[in-house]
Structure formats: structure tokens, C-alpha cells
Structure 1
């Protein structure tokens, strides 16, 4: 089974300002409510160390592999729960310039046998985590520009 969730936010700043904050993984501890701990290099093939903290859920450490980085506009990673095929998530951030600044879309495509039983959590806590992160990122970028 496959399932996709997505959350978008408009940020009144240029893409390079949003990109700089979004890709500063070490800085996540200062502002990110959904991924309060992150380390690693954003380079295809590299593994990241992340701790996800969905609202109302338990912290979950993951070690996804970076699959794509397009400087200034997108990056993506692929994570697995246990063995590949059980529960896989392809997480993506895309930045698009707008007349007012930048539109950030954070999305994840899930696949595997555990997607169906976890779908309620994905549509609840995980999606709420995406929205909380997007809002916090927007505020961080605006505060840095003030």
C-alpha cells in the first residue's frame, strides 16, 4: 500500500534564506518541534541521524539515506522502519520562488505492509508535525531577517 501526506507554507523571504535555515541540520535543536535533533551531511548517499517528535507521539530515531539534493530548491531522504518494504518513507522538501518570497512544500510518500495500520497516525500526528515544522521554519526565517 502507498500513502502520501503533504503540508505547504508561504514564507515572505527569498528561497536562499529559507534554504539556509532548512539545511542547517545542527540548528534544528534551536527551533524545530518535529525534528528536534538532526545531524549528517546533505549529500546523496549520506546517512542522516534524526529524531522525529510528532505532536502527541513518542520520539523516533531514524537513520535515512539522502537520495537527492538540488541546491537551493529541494532535498529528499529515504528511511526504513526495520527492513526495506516493511514501512518506507521518502521525505521531500521543495522550495519554489513566489512573488512574495518562497513556497515550501514538505511531503512524504509511504509504502510497505505497515502503511495501512499506521495511516491514522500518519494523517494525524505526522502531518501535524509537518505543519508545526513549517510554521516554526517560517518564523525562524522571518526573525532572522528582522
Structure 2
């Protein structure tokens, strides 16, 4: 899971993230914010387009009384198969932990507002 993120949610802002802190899979990476629509969309990207490049999209959509989170990462470049072969399980676990943590936080906030 992402344990540390620096950067502003503003188009063009640079970001620095640390994932899986304290584990053998710990890694640090930089990127930039490509698009922001408050309460709807955050799109970031980073890496080397010639080797391994990622685009991450967090999208919120109203769904009746609730909200749907689309949390998607797309990778391009010749190193993608090799990198994913060694990290797919870690990435899936990180996405799952992030989604569950965000859900718990949103539900706790909603309860605090009397929802």
C-alpha cells in the first residue's frame, strides 16, 4: 500500500510516493499529476516511456446513495512483462489494501456527518 505520498493535487505537480514501506517490495517512485477534477478524478503518471511507464487513475462516480471508486493502473513499455511477473501479487495486495482503507475512511467520515 502507498504509505507516503508528497505532492499537490494540481495539474503538473510532481509527486513522490513510497509503497510497501518496510517490506522487501518497498519502492520509491516519482511522477506527475496529469488531471484533477475535485471529487471526481485524479490522474497521475510516471516512469520512463521507453522502458516502463505507468498511468494511475482514481475516479469517483455516484451510484445511488453511494459512490463507486475506479482505481486503475495501466503500464506500457518493453519491461512491463518482466516487472509484472515479479510484482503482480504485491500490486494486487496493495490495491486491495488501499481500496479497503479508503472505504473504511469514507464510511467513518460519513458516520461522523450523521449518515
Please report the TM-score for the alignment, with normalisation by the length of structure 1: 0.69
| Residue equivalent to 1:105 | 70
| Residue equivalent to 2:45 | 78
The answer on 1:116 being equivalent to 2:86 is no
Conserved in 2, the CA contact under 8 Å of 1:38 and 1:48? yes
2-side partners of 1:100 and 1:51: how far apart? 34
Larger of the two Rg values belongs to structure: 2
1-side partners of 2:17 and 2:42: how far apart? 15
Structure 1 vs Structure 2 CA RMSD? 1.7
1:57–1:106 distance in 2 versus 1, CA, 3 Å: farther
Please report the TM-score for the alignment, with normalisation by the length of structure 2: 0.86
1:38-53 to structure 2, matched below 5 A, reads: 38-53=5-20
The answer on 1:94 being equivalent to 2:59 is yes
Deviation at 1:108, TM superposition (A): 0.6
1:1-146 to structure 2, matched below 5 A, reads: 34-53=1-20, 57-80=24-47, 83-146=48-111
Ranked by relative contact order (alpha carbons within 8 Å, sequence separation 6 or more), the top structure is: 1
**Greater strand proportion:** 2
2-side partners of 1:46 and 1:66: how far apart? 5
- Gaps in structure 2 of 5+ consecutive residues: none
- Gaps in structure 1 of 5+ consecutive residues: 1-33
2-side partners of 1:97 and 1:142: how far apart? 15
